[in-house]
A and B are shown apart, each in its own frame.
Chain A
Amino acid sequence: MANVFAFAETRNGELRKIALEAVTAARSVADATGGQVHAFVAGATGIEHCAAQLAKYGADEVVVAEHAAFAKYNPEAVAAIVAERVRTGGYRVAIFPTSALGSDLAPRVAAKLGVGLVTDVTEIKLDGDAVIVKHPVNIGKVLATVKIASNPALVAIRANMFTPVESPRAGTIQRAAPVGDPDASRVVVKEVKLGGGTKLDLGEAPVIVSGGRGLKGPENFHLVEDLAAAFGNAAVGATRVVTDEGWRPHSDQIGQTGRLVSPDLYVAVGISGAIQHLAGMRTSRTIVAINKDKEAPIFKIADYGIVGDLFEVVPALTAAVKEARARG
């Protein structure tokens, strides 16, 4: 029997989608051996309200750490309490998100515990005494199977790889007290600035519409935004050229040195398909490309390509998508 720990990431007091993905991944590992899933959530007073949803997705227990100093990410204090919990909880596997927060937290915890960690994991299974994971290497051009022999094994999952599945459990609440003084952390997040309140995150959006150099300038990016708005569930991404030129913020960059995304639908607008970009989006389920150059490498991986002037095609597609959605 192997109990599994799942770190449930929150922002502004609400669970992020990857929190449910972590619980779902933990559930599948625990179920293979008849073990339990313990989800962990930290936040300001009131974060306990997340427990019900974590239970719905498979948490037998929800460990709640409430403290005013957890309202924003508090790296040192959260790492301390999570490490203590994982150390004493007898878990075979501890699951984290591969996110800005998780990628900061998981290695801190692994180093505190002196155990193995693999991030950006797309599959997890138990094999006797070992935890076996799949992890893309070489910008996604090679897939590695990795064995983690430490106990516990720490695994940070890639977003959008473990579709949340409801699997209701008791979700019994346990309280966890901070380890040390959370107000004494040396590293302090002073401020968090978020883009527009309704904007979907690239890692969570089912659809991504992404723009490249073909847009010619920031003043034309509204074409990409309008198409994203027409889909209704889309985030806006960009290539490295676009973010290096300052047309869009660096946080929008998809590629080898930016975000790695795997949405259900990826629409590449005016993107030639440089290798650095393909590395960030080639695992998307369906890829659409609109580009005037029929030799552009993006057409080699696009399920549906349209060769044409994006300044004509994109507005027409925006109108057609709106119409299709209006018809339902």
Chain B
Amino acid sequence: MKIAVCIKRVPDMDVRFKIAAIGNAVDEAGLKFDMNDFDSWAVEAALQIKDRDAATEVVVVSLGTDAVQETIRKALAMGADRGVELKADHIPFDGLAIARALAAELKDGGYDLILFGKQSADSSNGVVGAMVGELLGLPLVTAISKLEISGQKGSAKREIEGGQEFVEFPLPAVLTIDQGLNIARYPALKGIMAAKKKPLEVKPAQLAAQTVTVTQMELPPERAPGRIIGEGVAAVPELVRLLQTEAKVL
């Protein structure tokens, strides 16, 4: 089995963001970066298949500046076999442009599975994996939280509003990974040492013209500061009164 996992380097979200002087991007000074959570579950899904079948090759692909090499090395330290950086001077917002660049790289790779995280924490658009599936003309299942592969067939569970969908598909296929599928492993020291020697190829990303661009970023209006209306059961009547008269939701 040959598996590709596409991963994105994203900022740590546990900060107060500042808007950069150009006005349409976040100021990256001082931000920490790591692999997007959903993508780490995609890497884990591939590695669990490799755990059962040592002949499996797991290739990690990431588009961006040379900084993505750090993210790729993390996946290699987790156990992936080799990495590909699709080098670009920045990561565009236009999901179709990214998908086309990834599809060009993946098209002739002979992959049985191509995995993505469901969406990225930063651009939060959730379209790239599905678009790659469509561009490659492969069976595509999005947002899966359970996966079974048996020979050239797969079955998956998708979380839908208020329930689950159970889906069957043939391989090769493109899958995007939701929360709940697994918990990503941490790279062990041995893996971190081994990752330094694993191949990491750098190629130019084939980014064509983009039709979706961010023109402005702003911090959303702050909520009014929180208000504690009381303590314990004694505060319940006041809460009900406020819900009825002020918030008008009761």
Interface residues of A (CB under 8 A from B): 72-73, 75, 79, 99-101, 103-104, 106-108, 110-112, 114-120, 132, 135-150, 186-195, 199-204, 206-207, 231, 240, 243, 250-251, 253, 256-258, 264-265, 275, 279, 282, 285-289, 294, 298-309, 312-313, 316-317, 320-321, 324-325
Task: Write the residues of chain B forming the contact surface with A, with a CB cutoff of 8 angstroms.
Answer: 11, 13-14, 16-17, 19, 24, 26, 37-38, 93-96, 99, 121-128, 130-131, 133-135, 139-143, 145, 155, 158-170, 178-180, 211-220, 223-233, 235-237, 239-240, 242-244, 247, 249-250
Which of B130, B162, B170, B224 lies in contact with A195, CB distance below 8 A? B162
A313 engages B236 (CB within 8 Å) = yes
Asked if residues A192 and B164 are in contact (CB atoms below 8 Å), the reply is yes
| Complex CA–CA separation, A201 to B130 (angstroms) | 24
Q: Give the complex CA separation of A264 and B99 in angstroms.
A: 36
What would be 15 A-B contacts, judged by CB atoms less than 8 Å apart? A75-B140, A99-B160, A100-B159, A118-B125, A137-B124, A145-B24, A187-B169, A188-B169, A191-B165, A204-B161, A265-B247, A303-B224, A309-B232, A317-B236, A324-B243
Taking A138-B122, A257-B38, A305-B226 as contacts, is the C-beta distance between A312 and B232 under 8 angstroms?
yes
Q: How far, in angstroms, from A310 to B220 measured CA to CA in the complex?
A: 31
B212 with A150: CB separation less than 8 A: yes
Bound CA span A119–B26, Å:
19
Return chain B residues, CB-CB under 8 Å to A308. 231-233, 235
Q: With both chains docked as a complex, state the minimum distance between the C-beta of A196 and any C-beta of chain B, in angstroms.
A: 9
- The binding surface of chain A is classed by DSSP as mixed
Q: Which residues of A contact B26 (CB under 8 A)?
A: 138, 142
How far apart sit A253 and B145, CA to CA, in the bound complex (Å)?
13
A165 smallest CB distance to B (angstroms)? 19
- In the complex, which of the residues B228, B240, B242 contacts A307, with contact meaning CB atoms closer than 8 Å? B228
> When chains A and B are docked, how far (Å) is the Cα of A144 from the Cα of B216?
6
Pair B236/A143 contact, Cβ less than 8 Å: no
Output the least CB separation between B73 and chain A (Å). Answer: 24
What's the least CB distance linking A298 to chain B, in Å?
A: 8
**Contact across chains for A106 and B127 when beta carbons are under 8 A apart:** yes
Q: A107 and B214 in contact (CB under 8 A), knowing A189-B166, A303-B226? A: no
**Are B212 and A251 interface neighbours, CB within 8 A?**
no
| Closest B residue, CB atoms, query A206 | B249
CB atoms of B130 and A104 under 8 A apart: yes
Q: Identify B215's interface contact among A73, A108, A146, A195, CB under 8 A.
A: A146
Q: In the complex, what residues of A have CB within 8 A of residue B134's CB?
A: 79, 107-108, 111-112
Establish whether residues A139 and B249, one from each chain, have CB atoms under 8 Å apart when the complex forms.
no
**Given A139-B121, A313-B236, A303-B161 contact (CB < 8 Å):** no
Which of chain A's residues have a CB closer than 8 A to the CB of B139? 186-187
A255 smallest CB distance to B (angstroms): 9
State A253–B180 Cα separation when bound (angstroms).
10
The answer to whether B125 and A111 touch across the interface, beta carbons within 8 angstroms, is no
Q: Is the CB of B250 within 8 A of A316?
A: no
Give every chain B residue within 8 A of A75 (Cβ-Cβ): 140
Q: How far is the CB of A150 from chain B (nearest CB, A)?
A: 4
**Quick one: closest B residue to A312, CB to CB?**
B233
Residues of B within 8 A of A202 (CB): 161-162
CB of A265 within 8 A of CB of B131, answer no
A145 with B217, Cβ < 8 A, contacts A99-B161, A103-B126, A306-B229 known: yes
Contact of A147 among B142, B213, B223 (CB under 8 A): B213
Q: Are A251 and B164 in contact (CB under 8 A)?
A: yes
A119/B96 in contact, CB under 8 A: no
A114 to chain B: which residues have CB within 8 Å?
A: 96
Chain A residues with Cβ below 8 Å from B223 are: 282, 287, 301, 303
Q: A100-B158, A119-B127, A324-B244 are in contact. Are A138 and B121 (CB under 8 A)?
A: yes
What is the bound-complex CA distance between A307 and B239, given in angstroms?
Answer: 12
Cβ A286 vs Cβ B140 within 8 A: no
CA distance in complex: A94, B125 (Å): 16
- Contact partners of A300 in chain B: CB under 8 A: 225-226
B residues less than 8 Å from A116 (CB atoms): 94, 96, 211-212
